[in-house]
């Protein structure tokens, strides 16, 4: 109820928290780290209806409706099974047919929108291919781009519970019904400065929306100078969009292998050409020591934020349905994270000489206590061993006394005793 009532005021409250952090001297925008995480929607993936299955069920229901009308037209009611009420059965199937028809319309609308986007990409590829052919004055190599196919695909689907959510792959494998929550985190304070929720599982198209959200931040927070993102955001258009917004992009162009050779890690990049394009400039900067140091901060800023929100705060699923409601709810979660983070930033722990002396003293006392417990353990072990030995010896003496009341057999076994038998 709280989420529904105050969803429109959450954006303003989110900005007010950032302004408070700025006035306290904690937040000054500079470099932000961008990443996305899949948050489960308030819907089950088993309630999704695909185009292929919808057509199959629709045909089956239509056949059942025809059979029910034939049974209703028969004068003899003996062929009707017991307990069957034809009007109720017809009504139930007509409702399901209406639901399937509505779902197919939505799938067709999404397929039309996707076809327009794919067609635009196809035309751009053809134009680029023709441009390169004219520059080189020869036929371009490689296969020509394949034109997109219009209409819905067999696996296109819509969720009957939350139609605005989407089936998305997870990092651990499998699929969930979810939204893609995008987040910009300030690398200096780990405060969330911008958020938006999208239906697209791929992050490549989320740089431009993130820039638009960053532009709407209060002016007193400062200007974002750098955006750090992983390889999922890389494209030439995204790099150019960052430069158009006066933001330096640091977007990985691929995944580097682990345990690289020392020479490759410490090698310097080749000099940059004067006429280099935006992507080449960004690649050059990523190979410099300064660029490597800045990009290395990405995993230690935005990734812990997602981990704490999901594992510590326990937020893994949206409570409301719909894209707009999910976006407002993610803003509320980000606001809660910022309050939690501000509480930590407000209590710094300066390293004074007194604290250092106390720390060294506690370390010495701890080592002494450890040695004390080790000596006590050895002492207890020796005492226990002696007690066990005395108990065993007492047991055997008692046994020998029972066998020989005179004690001769138990005291001296090698000396011949007349009272032995």
Fold of 2-44+161-345: Nucleotidyltransferase; domain 5 (3.30.420)
Q: Which of 367, 310, 20, 368 is nearest to 183 (CA)?
A: 310
Q: Please give the residue that has the higher pLDDT: either 291 or 365.
A: 291
The predicted model gives 7-21 an average pLDDT of: 90
Token pair listed for 85: 């009420």
- How far apart, in whole angstroms, are the C-alpha atoms of residue 228 and residue 419? 99
Residue 332 has a pLDDT of 93
pTM, two decimals, is: 0.72
Query: In this predicted model, what pLDDT tens digit does every residue of 213-240 receive, in sequence order?
Result: 999 999 899 899 999 999 889 988 899 9
At 184, the pLDDT band (50, 70, 90 cuts) reads very high
Average pLDDT over residues 49-62: 89
Q: Please, which residues bridge with residue 31 across strands?
A: 226
Residue 117 has pLDDT above 50, yes or no: yes
**Measured between alpha carbons, how far is 250 from 282 in angstroms, rounded to an integer?**
7
User: CA nearest 210: which of 329, 337, 32?
Assistant: 32
What pLDDT is attached to residue 397?
53
> How far is Cα 76 from Cα 97, in angstroms, rounded to an integer?
28
Residue ranges covered by each domain of the chain:
2-44+161-345, 46-136, 353-420
Q: Are 31 and 187 in contact (CB under 8 A)?
A: yes
> Between 270 and 196, whose confidence is greater?
196
Residue 359's pLDDT is 58
Q: Quick one: average pLDDT of 9-15?
A: 89
């Amino acid at each position: 109820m709280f989420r529904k009532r105050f969803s429109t005021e959450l954006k303003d409250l989110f900005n007010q928290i950032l302004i408070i952090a700025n006035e306290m001297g904690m937040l000054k925008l500079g470099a932000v780290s961008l990443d996305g995480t899949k948050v489960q929607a308030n819907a089950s993936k088993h309630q999704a209806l695909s185009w292929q299955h919808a057509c199959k069920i629709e045909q089956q229901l239509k056949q059942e409706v025809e059979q029910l009308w034939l049974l209703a037209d028969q004068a003899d009611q003996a062929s009707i099974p017991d307990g069957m009420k034809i009007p109720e059965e017809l009504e139930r199937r007509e409702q399901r047919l209406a639901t399937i028809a509505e779902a197919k319309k939505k799938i067709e609308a999404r397929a039309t929108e996707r076809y327009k986007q794919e067609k635009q990409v196809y035309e751009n590829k053809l134009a680029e291919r023709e441009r390169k052919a004219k520059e080189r004055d020869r036929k371009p190599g490689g296969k020509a781009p394949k034109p997109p196919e219009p209409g819905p695909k067999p696996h296109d689907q819509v969720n009957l519970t939350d139609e605005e959510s989407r089936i998305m792959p997870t990092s651990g494998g499998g699929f969930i019904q979810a939204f893609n929550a995008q987040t910009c985190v300030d690398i200096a304070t780990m405060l969330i400065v911008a958020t938006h929720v999208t239906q697209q599982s791929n992050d490549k198209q989320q740089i431009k929306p993130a820039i638009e959200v960053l532009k709407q931040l209060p002016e007193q927070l400062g200007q974002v100078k750098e955006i750090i993102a992983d390889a999922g955001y890389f494209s030439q258009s995204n790099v150019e969009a960052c430069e158009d917004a006066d933001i330096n992009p640091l977007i990985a162009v691929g995944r580097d292998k682990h345990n690289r050779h020392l020479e490759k890690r410490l090698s310097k990049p080749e000099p940059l050409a004067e006429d280099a394009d935006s992507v080449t400039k960004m690649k050059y900067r990523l190979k410099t020591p300064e660029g490597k140091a800045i990009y290395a901060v990405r995993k230690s800023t935005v990734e812990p934020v997602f981990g704490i929100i999901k594992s510590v705060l326990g937020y893994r699923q949206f409570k409301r349905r719909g894209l707009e409601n999910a976006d407002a709810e993610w803003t509320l979660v980000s606001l809660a994270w910022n309050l939690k983070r501000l509480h930590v930033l407000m209590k710094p722990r300066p390293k004074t000489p007194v604290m250092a002396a106390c720390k060294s003293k506690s370390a010495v006392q701890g080592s002494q206590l450890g040695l004390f417990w080790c000596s006590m353990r050895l002492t207890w072990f020796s005492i226990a061993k002696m007690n066990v030995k005395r108990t065993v010896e007492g047991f055997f003496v008692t046994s020998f006394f029972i066998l020989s009341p005179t004690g001769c057999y138990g005291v001296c076994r090698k000396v011949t005793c007349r009272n032995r038998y």
